[in-house]
Amino acid sequence: MTEQLIWFGIAEFFFSISPGPAVFLVISLALRRGFAAGAAASLGIIAVNLLYFGLSAVGVGAVLVASPRLFLALKIIGAAYLVYTAIGILHDLWREAQANARGAPLPAQVSTNGARAERHAGAFLKGVAIQASSIKNIMLFLAIIPQFVVPEAGNVAVQFAALAVVSVLVELPILLAYAALSARLGQSVRSLSVRRALDGLSAVVLLGIAGSILFTA
């Protein structure tokens, strides 16, 4: 079993560092809102991964794959949530531009603990939405994870649990590293115009992710 865990860890490393929708989401949120938002999205992504491990272990994943309507609903919900978020960012930018044109003060940013908690919860849900709405993720778990399980080696449930632990230990630090680097880049930007450009870029990235969810298998 140890050999399977090592090989799985190597495969998971290369899957995790590859830029994909999940990585782009973490980067986008960390650029705009800082490390905590990127970390919250990372936890949402990991939570869905753990769910998929459980589904694969009990064989429910195969049932889900056989239900195209369910997956279509997941894709639409996930993509719609990301589009809604992107529109919100663009709307805020438009309001700022209108206020600036009128010479009015920009809306004050609320920095209470409750507001921060709400933003972080939203980032977590975005991570859940993007990971749960991709058919490729569940197909990956169904096609690849079982290859590292050896029934002759002992309890299959224990092997799935061990693989899940390895997955978290490999992927979570990588996502957090992306979040930390992106947050540092965002903090280093002092120009208001550049910050607005980053916000616009984040909105475009979210729209691109939504499109990739809807129009890819």
Per-residue confidence (pLDDT) for residue 150, from 0 to 100? 74
Could you give the percent of the chain with pLDDT greater than 70? 73
pLDDT band at 57 (very low <50, low <70, confident <90, very high): confident
Q: Quick: pLDDT tens for 100-158.
A: 666 655 444 444 444 455 578 888 988 888 787 766 666 666 667 767 777 776 777 78
Per-residue confidence (pLDDT) for residue 110, from 0 to 100? 43
Residue 99: domain span: 2-215
By C-alpha distance, which of 125, 133, 102, 163 is closest to 21?
133
Question: How far is CA 180 from its chain centroid?
Answer: 15
Q: Quick: pLDDT tens for 19-36.
A: 777 888 898 888 888 899
Q: What is the DSSP string of 87-145?
A: HHHHHHHHHHHHHHHHTPPPPPPP--HHHHHHHHHHHHHHHHHHHHT-HHHHHHHHHHG
Greater model confidence, 116 or 44: 44
For all residues of the chain together, what is the average pLDDT? 76
Count of domains for the chain = 1
